[in-house]
Structure 1
Amino acid sequence: MESTEQNLPQKNHTTLVEFIFLGFSDVPNVQEFLFWVFLIIYVIILMGNSLIIIITNVEPSLKTPMYFFLGNFSFLEICYVSVTVPRLLTDLCRQNRNISFVACATQMYFFLVLGATECLILTAMAYDRYVAICRPLLYPTIMSNRLCIQLAAGCWVSGIPVHMGFTYLIFSLPFCGPNQLNHFFCDIPPVLTLVCGDTWMIEMLIYVIALLVVTIPFLLILGSYVRIISTILKLPSASGRQKAFSTCSSHLMVVALFFGSGIITYLKPKSSYSAGADKFLSLFYTIVTPMLNPMIYCLRNKDFMKALRKFLPKLSPDKTARQ
């Protein structure tokens, strides 16, 4: 009898076909307000990052490695938020918030792959700034078009096989309890709370992958900026120091926002998991940070603002008609 009862969870988990997002159902009176807030933020993210992509491609003065990586980063941000926000907006408008087992796994996979890509692209951007400031005479030689394309391609594809296997392992675990997911998308921590088997091995794997994808890139970025700041402080010209700091400070702000919230979410122990805190942190790095990134990069960058002022008049219908 005891062995039969032990086998029941294994049998039950094979019949699981969907999860139910609880999302923000604990605050039912603000569902419509949240919908409009998130919709406005999503439109800002799409428009801001699309504008960066267009300008970095059409403006000759921005045909440099730094803006090549910025264009990649902006396209990545559009993909990254589109994995979660459209589904969140849909769920805020309806009562039925079911998501199939396969769709949940697919959403988690793309979210993890794009998150890993963001960590690596931010690292490549830090390396570009390191070479530009610490090795200025060798910068055109080192940061060739070929190397930039190779770095960008490596950032985009390196996380694909790792997270494919990782996502498969997570969804191969036994789910035999409630299927209510206290979150607004299929992230690792809330999904693991529904697993009825031992998750020790998968938690150790999370730490290993986080070390490779998050911690090591973060340390490389910090190391680059230690060298960068040391070099900037040695510059004889005050205007040169100010310009160097302005081009690097925006990148540092984005790194701090993204890596800070990500490290807290994925490297904290399972015993300290809180659904409310996790949803708040997830909102921060899935929605708020992507919204702030175009503002941080554009408003603090004189070259980009100059290119923007040249580009916007071209969109004027009156000027087009006169031409």
Structure 2
Amino acid sequence: MEPLPSWNDSAAKSAILDFVARTTANGGAEFVPPAERIAVFDNDGTLWCEYPLQVQVFFALAEVKRLAQQDPSLLKKPAFKAFLAGDLKTLTSLPKQEVFEPAFATHAGMTVEEFHANASRWLRNAEHPKLGRRFVANTYAPQRELLDHLRANGFKTYIVTGGGLEFVRVIAESHYGIPPEQVIGSSTRMKLETGEGGMVLRKLPALGSFDDRDEKVVNIALHIGRRPVFAFGNSDGDLAMLRYTLGGAGPRMAWYLHHDDAEREFAYDRDFRLSVFKDGLDHAAEYGIGLVSMKNDWKRVFAEDGNGRA
């Protein structure tokens, strides 16, 4: 079967296939040993739909009332007030970390297993308010094919996301073929408790790491220990990761996905504050980062039809 069938026969597709071929050709001048074939992908807006709010923010909207009852002092914070009021306009005007704080706080008090079960229940049926499709049906077919193609050629694929680590782990293996230990993301603090049922990890309301911008590079070094040779993102929050990938020796490749398809998905970049794409868009060519157009480079967008059918 032809690789990347959901991609149009464009310069972007040709460049990706050529890079994989060159770096995996035994004896070739640009051969990359299998242990060094590290590929990192952002999640929100890169592997699945993130507009008008990231999926985890919608999940938090469903959960935040319970949290406010447990700790009324949270209502003093603008993001929590906006969550409770369902005020999407205010949420999209706030800094990304402020908006994600309530999203991460919805984990508080749960064990890791309880959180996974809760998020899984919600994701089974929750629908995107504008697309009228289940959130889990909004993964991108071209990107899933790219992940498969990289792995088929000896690459190890990681998700490096600003979203919550545990939330993304719920869907990473089933939808992207990426096991939980290869997901790097924002995290809350946890504590180990010992009870009658044995040891459990309980999540705390305090933020541990907000995995965005420079912190993505820090966490790649901490959790992978190798500089990636391939990277894919979609916003300024990914720029440091893409530039770090390109900054090493030998053959390297980095891409931005540009959301320019208002007909099949959404068109946005500079004005979307929760995932602004301005500096990266203006300087991609200067930094050697390729630009994939959703409108022009992809034959189809979604991996499923909205009802779970591929």
TM-score, normalised with respect to structure 1: 0.26
Q: Which has the higher strand share?
A: 2
Q: Which has the higher helix share?
A: 1
